[in-house]
Chain A
Amino acid sequence: MHGLQAPPLLTLRGVSKRFPTGTLAVEGVDLSLARGDFLALLGPSGCGKSTLLRMIAGLIEPTAGEISFPADREARRSIGFVFQEPTLMPWATALRNVALPLELSGMRRRQAEERAAAMLQRVGLAGFERAYPRALSGGMKMRVSIARALVTNPRLLLMDEPFAALDEITRFRLNNDLLALWQAERFTVVFVTHSVFESVFLAERIVVMAPRPGRIVAELRIPPEDRALPEFRTSATYAAHCREVSHALERAMAEG
């Protein structure tokens, strides 16, 4: 749908990771990601999805295979990462936390803070610039974390179960807001989750992984016209997709 002629943003070929302990965390992963994709990596604990995400980020090296950015070599250095925990600097205000990536890349403090303030507004945190993380709720901290990941306008946004530790209501709101932000700006996302419902709601492409060793066993697509339905999350179409994805996940577990 993005045109066959355009080279993919990210390509993984035969990517494997064996830890020094001997555990084969990821085996033979082939994956290709087009610009603007929202891809969910879905699987049970221990299926290597976080390891895969960290390899894409360049935080750990694969033991075999190749990770490349065919469309744009610079993309490797333009990655935003959202961890499972907010991972904020407790000694810095929300504004200073969001400004960090810009300042690390050498931007002047004032300019960085201006852009950080604008970004905080986009994630719904206008007025909380001077708040320290300790004074923010779990959901707000996660919003700061997302703002920090997006402030550099990254070519690729990697999210590692970012809402897993939040309560249901907060997670719903953050899912809505993340989706709205993505629809407005169309950045490229790889979103790791173990929630079927979350993956169906957020992603266009759902890649199902199985454990021991971690590998891809299925890929499903949620058609854009379904996602565009009003009240998608309460629709029968949504429920049908969830069922389909759940079955794929169950088959994956049975195989493993």
Chain B
Amino acid sequence: MSTALRREPRWVRWVAPLIVGLLALGSWEWAVRAYEVPPYILPGPVLIGQTLLRDWGTLSTSLWVTLQITFAALAVAATLGLALAVLFAQSRAIEISLFPYAVILQVTPIVAIAPLIIIWADDVRLALLICAWIVAFFPILSNTTVGLNSADANLQDLFRLYGATRWQVLTRLRLPSAMPFFLAGLRISGGLALIGAIVAEFVAGTGGRASGLAYRILEAGYQLQIPRMFAALVLVSATGIAIFGALSWLSYLLLRRWHESAGAGESG
């Protein structure tokens, strides 16, 4: 099936976007210098890079805080999403009764309820974690629910024929069938957890030592330190890309032996 696709050499797929990126950054730097744009309006990429290095101490501490919240939220979202999906799969009645509330949780704008959560939760970091979790939780739940219900009908008959218990059907048939769906959900939720953590911190606006990247962006904005704002923004984007990359890699590792979605490169 890959014969129909025109295959370019592997390095082209890396080098081509890289050239585009460098050209864009180069033009940006050139424009900023040529038109003498002041750094508090638009800093050039070189200045942003320098700021990133100079402020690395503060920024990396904040990055660490944001990462902790993101990963804690993702872990809770994955665990609870999976557990709830398994519960839904046990009984249609439970699924029908609870699923609408999961949807309500999903469609309520996090910016709107974040202030409430921040008031209710004692600890700001706990509040941020809850906000990030709310955003990250739904794709895992809905994907895994679909996955658990997508087990091959004939295989289900086969398990019945051999008198398999509910537990055996769950662990040996439905969970493995749901695996690709769960991992696809996890990949979406990784990015969402980061966005949730950032948005919630914007709303909370808490300062101090234990503040994350969002607060650094706010703070830099108040102080008109625009290069620093950009530097924090670069870190946020890079983190998002890294999370997506890491989860894609995890998904590839777990599925490459058997699932079509991870088949590319197998023959190489």
Give bound CA distance, A134 to B261, whole Å. Answer: 12
Knowing A85-B154, A87-B155, say if A134 contacts B258 (CB, 8 Å): yes
Contact A90 B259 (CB under 8 A): yes
B57 at the interface (CB under 8 A from A): no
A105 at the interface (CB under 8 A from B): yes
Chain A residue nearest in CB terms to B259: A90
Knowing A85-B154, A104-B168, say if A90 contacts B258 (CB, 8 Å): yes
Contact A104 B154 (CB under 8 A): no
Interface stretch of the complex, out of A76-84, A214-222, A230-238: A76-84
Chain A residue nearest in CB terms to B151: A89
Interface stretch of the complex, out of B38-46, B71-79, B157-165: B157-165
Number of residues from A at the complex interface, CB < 8 A: 22
Residues of B contacting A132 with CB < 8 Å? 257-258
Chain B residue nearest in CB terms to A87: B154
Within 8 A of A (CB), among B120-153: 152
Give bound CA distance, A199 to B239, whole Å. Answer: 63
Contact A87 B158 (CB under 8 A): yes
Chain A residue nearest in CB terms to B152: A87
A124 at the interface (CB under 8 A from B): no
B33 at the interface (CB under 8 A from A): no
Residues of A contacting B172 with CB < 8 Å? 89, 100, 104
Chain A residue nearest in CB terms to B260: A134
CB < 8 Å: which of A58, A91, A104, A105 contacts B258? Answer: A91
Give 1 or 0 for each of B224-262: 1 = CB within 8 Å of chain A CB: 000000000000000000000000000000000111100
Smallest CB separation, A175 vs chain B (Å)? 22
Contact B164 A104 (CB under 8 A): yes
Give bound CA distance, A189 to B260, whole Å. Answer: 35
Smallest CB separation, A165 vs chain B (Å)? 13
CB < 8 Å: which of A59, A89, A105, A134 contacts B155? Answer: A89
A133 at the interface (CB under 8 A from B): yes
Smallest CB separation, A122 vs chain B (Å)? 20
Residues of B contacting A104 with CB < 8 Å? 159, 162-164, 168, 172
> Given known contacts A91-B259, A132-B258, what 9 new A-B pairs fall within 8 Å (CB)?
A57-B157, A81-B157, A83-B154, A89-B155, A89-B176, A90-B259, A92-B258, A105-B163, A134-B260
B contact set with A: CB distance below 8 Å: 152, 154-155, 157-164, 168, 172-173, 176, 179, 257-260, 263
8 pairs, CB–CB < 8 Å, chain A vs chain B: A59-B160, A85-B154, A89-B173, A90-B258, A90-B259, A91-B258, A104-B163, A132-B258
